Structure 1
Amino acid sequence: MPAEEATELYAKGLEAMEHGHYYLARTCFGRAYELEPSPRTSSYFGLALAKSTGGFPEAIALARDATSKDPENPVYYINLGQIYLLAEQRHEALIMFRLALHHGADSSIVRELEELGERKPPLFRNLPRSHPLNRYIGLLLSRLGLR
C-alpha cells in the first residue's frame, strides 16, 4: 500500500512540476520520499526543493544521493545540473550535463549545453572581464575568427 501511494504521489509531483507548481511538487515528492526513499523520488524532491525554497545544500545532497545509487540514469544528472544552475554554480552544472550526455541523455541536453557554453578567458587577465579592452578586442577577434 505505501508503495502504491508513493507512486501516485510521484506522478502528482511530476505533473505539478510541469505546471510550475513547485511548492506542491515539493510536498508530493517529500511525502513519496518518506514512504519509499528511491533514487527517482530523491532526485525530483531535490529539484523541487531547490525551485520552491532555494534550499540548495539539501537539494544537492538529495540529488547526489540519487546519482550515487543509480549512476547510469541520465535524468538524475540533468536534475542535479538544474539544481546547480539555480544555485549559480555554472561550472558544476556543465559537468553534470556532460555526465548526463555520457550516460545517454537525449539531444535536448546538447542544446542546453550549447546555450550555456564555456566562456573563454579574458584577453587581458589582469583586467576584469567587463573592462572595455577585454570586451571590445575580444568581440573584434571573435568576429574576425581569430579567437
Structure 2
Amino acid sequence: MSRERFNVLVERGKQAIAEGDTLLALVLFEDAARLSATPLVKSHLAYCLAREKKQYQKAIAMCLAAQQSDPGKSLHYLNLGKVYLEAGQKGRAIRAFRQGLKMERNQEIIDQLKRLGQRKPPPVAALPREHFLNRKLGVLLSRVGMR
C-alpha cells in the first residue's frame, strides 16, 4: 500500500511541476520523501524548496546528494540548474545543464539552454568579457545596430 501511495505522490508531484504549481509539488514530494527519500524525490524536492521557500543552499546540497547517489541521470543536473537559476547564478546553471547533456540527451535541458540564449563574443577578444571597454563597446555597438 505505501509503495503504491509513494508512486502516486511522485507522479502527481511531477505533474504539478510540469503545470507550474511548485507549491503543490513541494507538499507532494515532502510526503513522498517521508515514505522513501530516493534521489529522484530529493532532486525534485530541492527544486521546489528553492522555488517556494528560497532555501537555495539546502536545495543545492540536496541536488548534489541526489547526483552522487544516482550518477548519470540528467534529471538531477536539470533540477540543479533550475535551482541555480532561482538563486540568480546563471553561469553555474548553464554549467549544470551542459553537464547534464553530457550524461544523456534531455529535451528539457535543451529547452532551458535555448531559453537562456547564447552570448555574443566580446568586441575586444584580447580583453576579458567583464572589462570596462568590452562592456561599453558592446552596449554602443548594440545601440547602433552593428551587433
Fold-level similarity (TM above 0.5): yes
* Distance of aligned partners of 1:139 and 1:112 in 2 relative to their CA distance in 1, 3 Å threshold: farther
2:34 is matched with which residue?
34
Across the aligned residues of Structure 1 and Structure 2, the Cα RMSD in angstroms comes to 2.5
CA distance in 2, matches of 1:142, 1:38: 51
Percent identical among aligned pairs is 30
* Distance of aligned partners of 1:119 and 1:64 in 2 relative to their CA distance in 1, 3 Å threshold: farther
> Which stretches in structure 1 are left out of the alignment for 5+ residues?
none
Give me the TM-score of the superposition, normalised by structure 2.
0.81
Q: Tell me if structure 2 keeps the 8 A contact 1:44–1:79.
A: yes
One-letter code of the match for 1:113? L
* Distance of aligned partners of 1:110 and 1:22 in 2 relative to their CA distance in 1, 3 Å threshold: closer
Per-residue deviation, residues 63-97 of structure 1 (Å, max 9, x unmatched): 11111111110111111111111111111101111
* Distance of aligned partners of 1:98 and 1:16 in 2 relative to their CA distance in 1, 3 Å threshold: same
> Which stretches in structure 2 are left out of the alignment for 5+ residues?
none
Per-residue deviation, residues 14-70 of structure 1 (Å, max 9, x unmatched): 122122221111011011112101000000001111122221111111111111111
Q: Does 1:57 align with 2:60?
A: no
More deviation, 118-127/11-20 = 118-127
Q: 3-state DSSP class of the match of 2:17?
A: helix
How many residues are aligned here?
141
Per-residue deviation, residues 87-134 of structure 1 (Å, max 9, x unmatched): 1111110111101110112344334324423464574723583x4x44
* Distance of aligned partners of 1:63 and 1:141 in 2 relative to their CA distance in 1, 3 Å threshold: same
Give me the TM-score of the superposition, normalised by structure 1.
0.81
Q: Tell me if structure 2 keeps the 8 A contact 1:2–1:36.
A: no
More deviation, 34-43/108-117 = 108-117
- Counterpart of 2:132 (choices 126, 138, 144) is 126
Matches within 5 A, 1:7-18: 7-18=7-18
Q: Tell me if structure 1 keeps the 8 A contact 2:12–2:25.
A: yes
